[in-house]
């Protein structure tokens, strides 16, 4: 503890003396990427403090006080107090003083107050040092067995979630209790919350439309169930059958996740719309007149199921793989039939994965606005209502906040239902003991049921994507079907000049920016998400359930609201990062992190804690245990988190549409711009290119992560047995 304390005190003092405290240089010059400004003693807290900004010197007091010697519990408490006081002082001076003076009206009694900009490298290094001092003190007091890695991991994750999830979200939700001028009016909240357009039951009582809240919940339940069932069917076929085209089916299972926004909806319109391929065929051959059935609940349901099944598949893949063959073999030895084994043993052991898959599908359906925007028609959901309340002609931030609170309440109820269904039962199937290795064949009924669900859906997916690639190679889909590659040339033209290759296509700048940001955000998203899953599944600490729900908060709110909340929170001191690449990376990390959390929890629930205990008994630290024991056993969760984080960073639109800048314009924003301009061929060609790029990236991620090896489970399943295996003679 003492060595750690000295190390972090040294970091704090060095940052206070050497690093620039503010983001902007004192001379007003353009800083560039401000985190690269690491050393400048003339702009440090010490120099500025003696130059008149006395409040910056307050952080020196707890930093120097932490040098007090000692290794006992009293010294640990002192160190904790120094760290907490330091955090409070730095955060208080950052949030109380802004660009125009005091940020709180109650401080106006002291005059207009001093002014300051956003924190720079020095401020964030000092905050990090005080946080680590606090964690070192708590570990010294015996928290989490005195393991500094675990305590510091909890501290960092909680700090980051509070800063980049709770703070921006609560910032915008507070406007639900204010009028448009910013005055507190609680009565206005109830007036907007109880509106009949939200809770009306006209579809039951009078034959009119139901409230938008009931539409949203009904759609979410349907999508949660359908995506979970389809994801489970794909996972069972991939791991527990001898299906000949297994590789192709795996690709089809994850293909929709790598599709840019609006493309699936557009493809469905081209298939089932009034002039779509299927509608035209039915009219010409069977006289069935075209209709608009695709616009409304059916169309949104199909599009969302297609889009969100891959997340369920990636979660269930690790869960199905983790079920121990020993348990099923024991049931078979007791003369249980294959269907009985699946119904009474395999299915219950998949419950954590099923619950997490449903929760992801339900929450994603609630937050999705792209598919309802394209296919919703008169079927309104909360996400589209929130979108138009933010960016519509009659902007009403308070109404958007009220609708977001309604949406969050549904997410909270789904989270509670998931916790109740999973319960406190034990789902451990992976332990340090050996197992039979070869899994028994699936019941014929289960196997053919999986084929019945997955194969037609796979064929439908093929049709959708063949149409996407076909539309990218014709002049104008629906009017002129002349073959052309002009859309690709316009987007990705490369010329050879005197200075070498020139990427002259209009899509190249957004493509390079998107790949760069996705490559940075994906590993960070996976690391934070899986670390959070480990803390939730393996550690006990106060407020763990609230902390777990907090990880879903940014995932549950529509991306439009998240983007606006980031602008409101991070466009002013103490954190000014609007317009930089950093805000895009942070938004992607905390927007996509929940998939890694849910996949990690589902995988860790199958791994016996005795493996951790054995590692601790042999003298390994928590960090070594995670690296040597846990990570090799949760490779499916790592794969799910990395793949989802990368492709969502490549295809997200709603959360970042307000955060992009001229320097960091993303591929999806370019696509949306082309759609708005009526250049559908160019938009589809760019989307088709992104699909190929992301498919290649997923293949490389698979090679990098590899497969989880558990005993001899890699062998192909045996042919289905018609009867249970008889008990061998003694």
pLDDT tens for each residue of 399-419: 888 888 888 888 888 888 877
Contacts of 678 (CB under 8 A, 6+ apart): none
Residue of 444 and 543 predicted with greater confidence: 444
**CB-count exposure of residue 285 (10 Å: 0-12, 13-18, 19+):** exposed
Q: CA 361 → CA 130, 308, 554, 714, distances in Å?
A: 39, 6, 15, 29
pLDDT tens for each residue of 332-341: 888 888 888 8
Mapped onto helix, strand or coil, the DSSP state of residue 322 is: coil
Q: State the Cα–Cα distance between residues 101 and 79, nearest whole angstrom.
A: 33
Mapped onto helix, strand or coil, the DSSP state of residue 290 is: coil
Q: Which residues pair with 501 in a beta bridge?
A: 496
Across 659-684, average pLDDT: 81
Q: Which pLDDT does position 722 carry in this prediction?
A: 47
Residue 425: pLDDT over 90: no
Least confident of 229-233, 484-488, 627-631, 716-720: 716-720
Judge if the upstream peptide bond of residue 574 is cis by omega within 30 degrees of 0: yes
The pLDDT > 70 percentage for the chain reads 91
Q: Tell whether domain 508-680+689-705 is in CATH 1.20.210.10.
A: no
pLDDT tens for each residue of 143-202: 888 889 989 999 999 999 999 988 888 887 788 887 766 677 788 888 888 888 888 887
Same fold, 198-328+339-420+438-467 and 508-680+689-705: yes
Domain map of the chain by residue range? 2-141, 198-328+339-420+438-467, 508-680+689-705
Q: Which pLDDT does position 715 carry in this prediction?
A: 44
pLDDT tens for each residue of 444-493: 899 999 999 999 998 888 888 888 888 888 887 767 778 899 999 999 99
Q: Please compute, for residue 100, the number of CA atoms within 13 A of its CA located in the half-sphere on the CB side.
A: 5
Long-range contacts of 611-617 (CB under 8 A, 24+ apart): 611/430, 611/431, 611/432, 612/538, 614/432, 616/145
pLDDT tens for each residue of 67-125: 887 778 888 999 999 999 999 999 999 989 888 888 877 777 777 778 888 888 899 99
Residue 435: pLDDT over 70: no
Mean pLDDT of the residues in the chain: 83
The answer to whether the beta carbons of residues 684 and 675 sit under 8 Å apart is no
The class (CATH top level) of 198-328+339-420+438-467 is mainly alpha
Least confident of 14-23, 366-375, 551-560, 719-728: 719-728
Q: Which pLDDT does position 504 carry in this prediction?
A: 87
Across 23-49, average pLDDT: 71
pTM value is: 0.80
Q: Which pLDDT does position 431 carry in this prediction?
A: 52
The pLDDT > 90 percentage for the chain reads 24
Phi, psi of 571 (to 5 degrees): -100, 0
- The token pair at 56 is 């910056």
Residue 394: pLDDT over 80: no
């Amino acid at each position: 503890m003492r060595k750690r304390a000295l190390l972090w005190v040294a970091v704090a003092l060095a940052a206070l003396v050497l690093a620039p405290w503010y983001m902007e240089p004192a001379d007003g010059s353009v800083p560039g990427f401000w985190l690269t400004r690491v050393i400048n003693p003339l702009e440090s807290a010490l120099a500025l403090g003696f130059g008149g900004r006395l409040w910056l010197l307050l952080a020196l007091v707890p930093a120097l006080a932490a040098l007090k010697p000692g290794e006992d519990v009293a010294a640990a408490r002192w160190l904790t107090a120094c760290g907490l006081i330091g955090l409070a002082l730095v955060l208080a001076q950052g949030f109380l003083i802004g660009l125009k003076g005091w940020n709180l009206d109650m401080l106006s009694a002291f005059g207009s107050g001093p002014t300051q900009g956003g924190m720079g490298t020095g401020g964030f290094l000092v905050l990090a040092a005080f946080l680590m001092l606090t964690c070192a003190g708590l570990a010294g007091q015996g928290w989490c067995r005195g393991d500094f890695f675990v305590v510091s991991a909890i501290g960092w994750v909680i700090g980051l979630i509070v800063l980049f999830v709770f703070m921006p979200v609560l910032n915008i939700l507070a406007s639900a209790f204010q009028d448009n001028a910013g005055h507190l009016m609680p009565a206005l909240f109830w007036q907007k919350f109880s509106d009949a357009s939200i809770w009306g039951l006209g579809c039951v009582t009078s034959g009119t439309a139901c409230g938008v809240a009931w539409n949203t919940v009904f759609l979410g339940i349907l999508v949660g169930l359908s995506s979970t069932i389809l994801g489970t069917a794909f996972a069972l076929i991939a791991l527990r059958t001898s299906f000949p085209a297994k590789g192709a089916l795996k690709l089809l299972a994850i293909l929709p996740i790598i599709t840019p926004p609006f493309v699936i909806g557009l493809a469905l319109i081209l298939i089932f719309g009034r002039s779509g391929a299927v509608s035209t065929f039915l009219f010409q051959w069977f006289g069935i007149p075209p209709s608009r059935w695709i616009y409304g609940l059916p169309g949104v349901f199909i599009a969302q199921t297609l889009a969100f099944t891959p997340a369920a598949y990636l979660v269930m893949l690790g869960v199905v793989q983790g079920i121990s063959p020993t348990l099923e073999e024991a049931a078979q030895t007791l003369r249980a039939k294959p269907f009985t084994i699946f119904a009474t043993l395999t299915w219950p052991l998949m419950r954590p994965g099923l619950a997490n898959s449903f929760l992801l599908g339900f929450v994603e359906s609630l937050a999705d606005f792209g598919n309802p925007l394209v296919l919703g028609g008169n079927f309104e959901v909360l996400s589209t209502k929130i979108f138009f309340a933010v960016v519509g002609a009659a902007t009403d931030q308070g109404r958007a906040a009220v609708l977001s609170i309604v949406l969050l309440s549904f997410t909270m109820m789904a989270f509670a239902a998931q916790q109740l269904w999973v319960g406190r039962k034990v789902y451990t199937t992976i332990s340090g003991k050996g197992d039979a290795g070869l899994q028994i064949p699936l019941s014929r009924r289960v196997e053919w049921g999986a084929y019945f669900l997955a194969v037609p859906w796979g064929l439908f997916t093929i049709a959708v994507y063949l149409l996407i690639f076909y539309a990218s190679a014709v002049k104008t889909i629906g009017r002129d079907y002349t073959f052309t590659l002009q859309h690709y040339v316009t987007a990705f033209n490369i010329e050879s000049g005197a200075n070498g290759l020139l990427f002259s296509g209009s899509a190249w700048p957004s493509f390079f920016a998107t790949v760069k940001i996705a490559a940075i955000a994906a590993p960070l998203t996976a690391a934070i998400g899986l670390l959070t899953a480990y803390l939730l599944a393996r550690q006990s600490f106060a407020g763990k359930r609230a902390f777990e729900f907090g990880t879903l908060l940014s995932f549950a709110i529509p991306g439009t609201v998240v983007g606006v909340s980031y602008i409101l929170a991070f466009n002013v001191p103490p954190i000014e990062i609007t317009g930089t690449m950093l805000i895009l990376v942070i938004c992607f990390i905390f927007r996509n992190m929940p998939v890694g959390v849910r996949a990690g929890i589902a995988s860790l629930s199958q791994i016996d804690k005795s493996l951790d205990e054995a590692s601790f008994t042999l003298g390994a630290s928590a960090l070594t245990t995670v690296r040597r024991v846990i990570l090799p056993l949760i490779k499916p969760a790592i794969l799910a988190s990395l793949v989802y984080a990368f492709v969502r960073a490549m295809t997200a639109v709603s959360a970042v549409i307000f955060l992009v800048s001229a320097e960091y314009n993303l591929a999806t924003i370019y696509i949306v711009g082309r759609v708005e301009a009526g250049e559908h061929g160019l938009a589809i060609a760019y989307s088709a290119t992104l699909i190929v790029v992301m498919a290649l990236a997923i293949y490389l991620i698979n090679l990098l992560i590899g497969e989880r090896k558990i005993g001899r489970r890699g062998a192909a399943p045996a042919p289905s047995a018609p009867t249970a295996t008889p008990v061998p003679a003694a």
